[in-house]
Structure 1
Amino acid sequence: MRSPTARTAPPTRTPLATGWGTRVLVVLAAGGVAVLVLPLVALLAATPWRDLPALVADPAVLQALRLSLLTAGSATLVALVLGVPLAWLLARDDLRGAWLLRALVTVPLVLPPVVGGVALLLLLGRRGLLGSSLDAWFGLTVPFTSVAVVLAQVFVALPFLVLSVEGALRGADRRRALVAQTLGASPAYVLRRVTLPAVAPGVAAGAALCFTRALGEFGATVTFAGSFPGTTRTMPLAVYLAMDSAPEQAVAMSVLLLGLSVAVLVVMRGRWVGGLPGARPPRSGQDAR
C-alpha cells in the first residue's frame, strides 16, 4: 500500500515514435518552419545595420511610427471595451444562434482586408449607408481621417481578441462564479471580480494579438483611410511607398515593425501562452512557476 506521504512522480513526456511516417512528418514540419522563418532571415540579412539608426530616425519614419502606435493602441482599447463583452456573450451556453454570431465575428479573419476597407467606405463614406446621415446631420466625415485608421484596425483585429477571450472563458473554472452567485453577488460583480481576474491571461493574449495585428494593418487602412502623412500614413503604408523610392528605408522600417511585434509577444509571453484557446496547462509545480 502506498504511503500517504509518498509523492507522485510528475508525468513524463511520451517519446517521439520512430519510423518512416514520423520522419515524413518531421520533414514536413521543418518545411513549415522554413516557410515562416526564411523570409524573416532574408529580411534580416538585407538590413543595412550600419545605417539603421539614421534610417529609422528620419522624421517621416518617426511620424508614421508615432501614428501607428497611437492608432494601434486606440484600436486595442476599443477592441477591449467591445470584445470582452462579446466574448462573454459567445461563451454562454444558453445563447441561441451563437454559431451564427461566432461566424460573423470570424468573417474578418478570412475576408481580404481590402474588402473590409471597401465595406467600411460603403458604410461610413459621404454616400454610405450611415455616412450620408452623419455628413448631413452633424457634418462629420469619417473616411481619410485618423479615426478611419482606428476603425479599420478594429475591424480586422477585433476577432483575435474575441476568440482568445472566449476560449479562456470556456476553459475557466466556473465553480467560483457559481458560489459567488449563490452568495447573492450580482452578475456584474461576478464578471468584474471573479470571472475577469480568472481569465486575465486570455484577455492579455487577445490584447497582444489585437495590438500587433492592428500595428500591421494595411489593406483596409489604405482603402478606407488613404495615405496622408501625419494623418493616416501608418508604418505599413510608409513601407509600401518607400519600396520604390527608398528600398533601404523600407527594409529598416520593416525590421522596426518586426522588432516591435516580437517585443510585444515576448513581454506578454507569460500571459498569452496560457491564455490562448487550447493551451496546455502546466504539468508540474515547477512549470506553473
Structure 2
Amino acid sequence: MRRRFVTAVVVGMCAATFLASPAAADADGPVVETANGPVVGVVDGGIEVFRGIPYAAAPVGDLRYEAPQPVGNWTQPRDATEFGPACMQTPDDLENDPSTEVSEDCLTVNVWTPKADEGSRPVFVWIHGGGFSWGTAAHALYEGRNLAERGDMVVVSLQYRLGSFGWLDLSEAGGSASSANNGLLDMTAALKWVQENAAAFGGDPDNVTVAGESAGAIALGSLLTTEAAPELFDRAILQSGSPGLVMTEDVAGGLAEEFLTKAGASSVDDLRAMTAEEL
C-alpha cells in the first residue's frame, strides 16, 4: 500500500533535459531478465538502454479496439536495441520525421538506467503528447540518457494507441465498453509493467513519478482519478495540459457514428476487417 501520493502541476516543457544522441547496437550489450523474459540492450555513454520492450500483446485482429491484453513470455534473449514503431497515425502527423515506421503493434516501453543492478533508484515515467492522435516515445526530444545520468534514476517512456485505435467509443457498434479509453488502459498496463519490472532495471517500484505533456498530461490527470493510481505511481507532473478534455457519452457516440459512416462501416467487425492504413 502506498504511504504517500503527491501531485505537482508544471507548466512548460523540460524536453532539453532528455536530449542525447542515439547509440549503436552492442552485440555484448547488457541483459535484463524481465517478468516476460530476457532483453538485451545497449550501453550509451555509460547508461544502459533498452528499447521497444512490449508491455502488452499486439492489439491487432480481434484485439483491435479491445483493452490491452497480457504479452506472451519468451525464453531467448530479445533484442531491445531499437525503438519499436510509432502507433498508427497519418503521415502528415509525422512531418518532423516522415520516415518513422508506424504499426498497430506499438505497445512498447523504453528504459534508460545507470545500471541494471540491485539499486533502488527513483523511477521517472514519460507520457508523450500529441492531441491523442500523433506522437511517439521514440522522438529525439524524449531520449532519456541525460536524465538517467544526471538524476541517477531509471527513465521509462511509453507508447499508447492513438486516434480511433485508442479513443473511439464503439460500444454502440458491437465494441467493448472500454473502447473509448483504450489508450488510457494502455498507459495503465504500461505502469503495471513498470511496477513488475522496475527492480530488474535498478529502480524502486515504490518511488515512481509519472510526467506527461499536453495530451499526456490530460491523460495523466484522468489516471489520477482511478482507484489503481496509488498502486502504480507516487507523484504526477502535468505539463501544459489538464484533465478537462472529456466528453459526454452522447458526444462520443456521435463522433463514433460519424467515423463509421466515413469508413463505410456499420460495426466494429467491419472496422476490424479493414487495414490499419485505411482507418
TM-score tier by shorter-chain length is under 0.3
More helix by share: 1
Q: Which has the larger radius of gyration?
A: 1
TM-score (normalised: structure 2): 0.25
TM-score (normalised: structure 1): 0.25
More strand by share: 2
Q: Higher relative contact order by CA 8 Å / sep ≥ 6: 1 or 2?
A: 1
